[in-house]
Amino acid sequence: MNLDDFKNHEHLWFRLCYAAQALPKVQSKYRVLFEDPDDLDEPAKVLVPDPNWMAAALHGSVLPDVSSYIADQKTLAEYEKEHGSLEGFNWKDHDPQHPYSEPRGPMTEEEAIEYLVQKDIPPRVWRDYKGNRTIMKIVPVEAIPSNRSYRNAWVISQDEQELEHAA
Protein backbone atom coordinates (compact mmCIF):
# COMPACT_ATOMS: atom_id res chain seq x y z
CA MET A 1 0.00 0.00 0.00
CA ASN A 2 1.30 3.42 -0.94
CA LEU A 3 1.48 5.79 2.06
CA ASP A 4 -0.02 8.59 -0.02
CA ASP A 5 -3.18 6.56 -0.80
CA PHE A 6 -4.92 7.43 2.46
CA LYS A 7 -4.61 11.21 2.15
CA ASN A 8 -6.87 11.16 -0.91
CA HIS A 9 -9.89 10.03 1.14
CA GLU A 10 -12.27 12.71 2.33
CA HIS A 11 -13.34 11.03 5.56
CA LEU A 12 -11.05 10.93 8.59
CA TRP A 13 -11.94 7.33 9.52
CA PHE A 14 -10.78 6.02 6.13
CA ARG A 15 -7.51 7.94 6.47
CA LEU A 16 -6.99 6.53 9.99
CA CYS A 17 -7.65 2.96 8.81
CA TYR A 18 -5.19 3.29 5.94
CA ALA A 19 -2.59 4.87 8.22
CA ALA A 20 -2.97 2.08 10.80
CA GLN A 21 -2.22 -0.49 8.08
CA ALA A 22 0.58 1.42 6.36
CA LEU A 23 2.53 3.12 9.15
CA PRO A 24 4.61 1.48 11.88
CA LYS A 25 3.21 2.13 15.35
CA VAL A 26 4.96 4.80 17.44
CA GLN A 27 4.96 4.64 21.24
CA SER A 28 5.02 8.15 22.70
CA LYS A 29 7.57 9.00 25.35
CA TYR A 30 4.97 11.30 27.01
CA ARG A 31 1.82 10.91 29.07
CA VAL A 32 -0.67 13.57 30.13
CA LEU A 33 -1.63 13.50 33.79
CA PHE A 34 -4.69 15.58 34.68
CA GLU A 35 -7.37 16.14 37.30
CA ASP A 36 -10.94 17.28 36.75
CA PRO A 37 -11.43 20.68 38.44
CA ASP A 38 -15.13 19.87 38.88
CA ASP A 39 -14.29 16.79 40.97
CA LEU A 40 -10.92 17.08 42.72
CA ASP A 41 -11.73 14.03 44.88
CA GLU A 42 -11.39 11.81 41.80
CA PRO A 43 -7.95 10.29 41.19
CA ALA A 44 -5.70 11.83 38.56
CA LYS A 45 -6.32 10.55 35.04
CA VAL A 46 -3.62 9.47 32.58
CA LEU A 47 -3.97 10.11 28.85
CA VAL A 48 -1.88 7.66 26.81
CA PRO A 49 -1.61 8.34 23.06
CA ASP A 50 -2.54 5.39 20.86
CA PRO A 51 0.52 4.17 18.90
CA ASN A 52 -1.43 4.17 15.60
CA TRP A 53 -2.69 7.71 16.25
CA MET A 54 0.83 8.90 17.12
CA ALA A 55 2.19 7.39 13.88
CA ALA A 56 -0.49 9.24 11.90
CA ALA A 57 0.24 12.52 13.70
CA LEU A 58 3.98 12.27 13.06
CA HIS A 59 3.50 11.30 9.40
CA GLY A 60 0.92 13.96 8.51
CA SER A 61 -1.79 13.92 5.81
CA VAL A 62 -4.18 12.02 8.10
CA LEU A 63 -5.48 14.15 10.98
CA PRO A 64 -7.54 17.33 10.59
CA ASP A 65 -6.56 20.60 12.25
CA VAL A 66 -7.47 20.58 15.95
CA SER A 67 -9.72 23.62 15.39
CA SER A 68 -12.26 21.28 13.73
CA TYR A 69 -12.55 19.27 16.97
CA ILE A 70 -12.90 22.47 18.98
CA ALA A 71 -15.70 23.61 16.63
CA ASP A 72 -17.49 20.29 17.20
CA GLN A 73 -17.06 20.64 20.98
CA LYS A 74 -18.65 24.08 20.69
CA THR A 75 -21.61 22.59 18.77
CA LEU A 76 -22.14 20.06 21.58
CA ALA A 77 -21.87 22.75 24.28
CA GLU A 78 -24.39 24.98 22.50
CA TYR A 79 -26.85 22.08 22.11
CA GLU A 80 -26.49 21.17 25.79
CA LYS A 81 -26.99 24.80 26.84
CA GLU A 82 -30.07 25.12 24.64
CA HIS A 83 -31.68 21.77 25.61
CA GLY A 84 -30.37 21.27 29.15
CA SER A 85 -28.65 17.98 28.26
CA LEU A 86 -27.23 16.05 25.32
CA GLU A 87 -30.20 13.70 25.31
CA GLY A 88 -31.55 13.51 21.78
CA PHE A 89 -28.43 14.95 20.19
CA ASN A 90 -27.63 13.41 16.81
CA TRP A 91 -24.77 14.47 14.53
CA LYS A 92 -27.06 13.82 11.55
CA ASP A 93 -28.91 17.00 12.53
CA HIS A 94 -25.70 19.06 12.71
CA ASP A 95 -22.62 19.64 10.60
CA PRO A 96 -19.62 17.82 12.14
CA GLN A 97 -16.34 19.44 11.15
CA HIS A 98 -13.56 17.03 12.08
CA PRO A 99 -14.36 13.96 9.92
CA TYR A 100 -14.37 16.02 6.71
CA SER A 101 -11.70 18.64 7.39
CA GLU A 102 -8.62 18.84 5.23
CA PRO A 103 -5.73 16.80 6.70
CA ARG A 104 -2.89 18.77 8.24
CA GLY A 105 0.83 18.23 7.83
CA PRO A 106 3.22 16.27 10.05
CA MET A 107 3.65 17.18 13.72
CA THR A 108 6.49 16.76 16.16
CA GLU A 109 5.78 14.48 19.10
CA GLU A 110 5.37 17.51 21.38
CA GLU A 111 2.90 19.14 18.97
CA ALA A 112 0.98 15.85 18.76
CA ILE A 113 0.65 15.74 22.56
CA GLU A 114 -0.62 19.34 22.64
CA TYR A 115 -3.09 18.44 19.86
CA LEU A 116 -4.29 15.43 21.86
CA VAL A 117 -4.76 17.57 24.98
CA GLN A 118 -7.01 19.97 23.08
CA LYS A 119 -8.89 17.15 21.35
CA ASP A 120 -9.44 14.70 24.21
CA ILE A 121 -9.28 16.59 27.51
CA PRO A 122 -12.20 18.84 28.47
CA PRO A 123 -11.50 22.57 27.97
CA ARG A 124 -12.29 23.18 31.65
CA VAL A 125 -8.96 21.43 32.36
CA TRP A 126 -6.59 22.83 29.72
CA ARG A 127 -8.15 26.21 28.84
CA ASP A 128 -10.73 27.47 31.32
CA TYR A 129 -9.22 26.55 34.70
CA LYS A 130 -8.39 29.67 36.74
CA GLY A 131 -7.37 28.09 40.07
CA ASN A 132 -3.93 28.07 41.63
CA ARG A 133 -3.47 24.29 41.65
CA THR A 134 -1.62 22.44 38.94
CA ILE A 135 -4.26 20.16 37.44
CA MET A 136 -2.44 19.03 34.29
CA LYS A 137 1.12 17.96 33.50
CA ILE A 138 2.76 16.49 30.44
CA VAL A 139 5.27 14.03 31.83
CA PRO A 140 7.71 11.41 30.53
CA VAL A 141 6.51 7.80 30.60
CA GLU A 142 8.95 7.06 33.42
CA ALA A 143 7.12 9.54 35.73
CA ILE A 144 4.01 7.34 35.76
CA PRO A 145 4.34 4.57 38.37
CA SER A 146 4.30 1.07 36.93
CA ASN A 147 2.83 -0.27 40.19
CA ARG A 148 -0.91 0.44 39.97
CA SER A 149 -1.74 -0.82 43.49
CA TYR A 150 -2.77 2.61 44.76
CA ARG A 151 -4.04 3.96 41.44
CA ASN A 152 -7.23 5.42 42.94
CA ALA A 153 -5.18 7.61 45.28
CA TRP A 154 -3.08 9.34 42.61
CA VAL A 155 -2.99 13.15 42.68
CA ILE A 156 -0.78 15.68 40.94
CA SER A 157 1.98 16.88 43.24
CA GLN A 158 1.90 20.60 44.05
CA ASP A 159 5.56 20.65 45.13
CA GLU A 160 7.36 23.52 43.33
CA GLN A 161 10.68 21.65 43.03
CA GLU A 162 8.92 18.70 41.47
CA LEU A 163 7.07 21.03 39.08
CA GLU A 164 10.36 22.54 37.93
CA HIS A 165 11.92 19.09 37.57
CA ALA A 166 9.00 17.85 35.46
CA ALA A 167 9.16 20.85 33.11
For residue 45, the cross-strand partners are: 34
Eight-state DSSP code of residue 40: T
Tell me the per-residue pLDDT of 87-123, one tens digit each, with 9 for 90 and over.
Answer: 999 988 888 888 888 899 999 999 999 999 999 999 9
> What pLDDT shows up at residue 160?
61
Residue 132's pLDDT is 87
- Say whether pLDDT at 139 is over 70: yes
Q: Where are the domains of the chain?
A: 5-63+103-166
pLDDT at 164: 45
Sequence-separated (6 or more) residues with CB below 8 Å from residue 111: 57
pLDDT class for 167, splitting at 50, 70, 90?
very low
What are the residue ranges of helices labelled H in 34-65?
51-59
Span 56-77, mean pLDDT?
92
Q: Considering the entire predicted model, what is its pTM?
A: 0.82
Q: Does residue 8 carry a pLDDT above 70?
A: no
Q: Residue 158 is which amino acid? A: Q
Burial (Cβ within 10 Å: 0-12, 13-18, ≥19) of residue 87: exposed
Query: How does residue 2 score in pLDDT terms, banded at 50, 70 and 90?
Result: low
- Please tell me the predicted confidence (pLDDT) of residue 41: 86
CB-based burial label for 153 (10 Å; 0-12, 13-18, 19+): exposed
